[in-house]
Amino acid sequence: MAKVKVTQVRGRSGATKRQIATLEALGIKKIHHSVEVELTPVSKGMIEKVRHLVMIEEI
């Protein structure tokens, strides 16, 4: 599986509770925090739900 680096670039203040929970499930704690995630169908769907809050880079 491929890995991607997910970095939060926008704040959570305008996000819904569900989007905030998705960020926490990905392991992102605060703005400019990055995590490396295996690109599975589940993680891909989670990233898609918060795409407007994060930046994705392929590793």
What per-residue confidence (pLDDT) applies to 36?
A: 96
What per-residue confidence (pLDDT) applies to 1?
A: 78
| pTM beyond 0.85 | yes
The 8-class DSSP code of residue 24 comes to H
Within 10 A of 1 (CB to CB), how many other CB atoms are there? 7
Residue 10, CA atoms < 13 Å, CB-side half-sphere: 12
| 8, 30 contact by CB (below 8 A) | yes
Per-residue pLDDT tens for 4-55? Answer: 999 999 999 989 999 999 999 999 999 999 999 999 999 999 999 999 999 9
Query: What element of type H or E holds 54?
Result: strand 54-58
What per-residue confidence (pLDDT) applies to 48?
A: 96
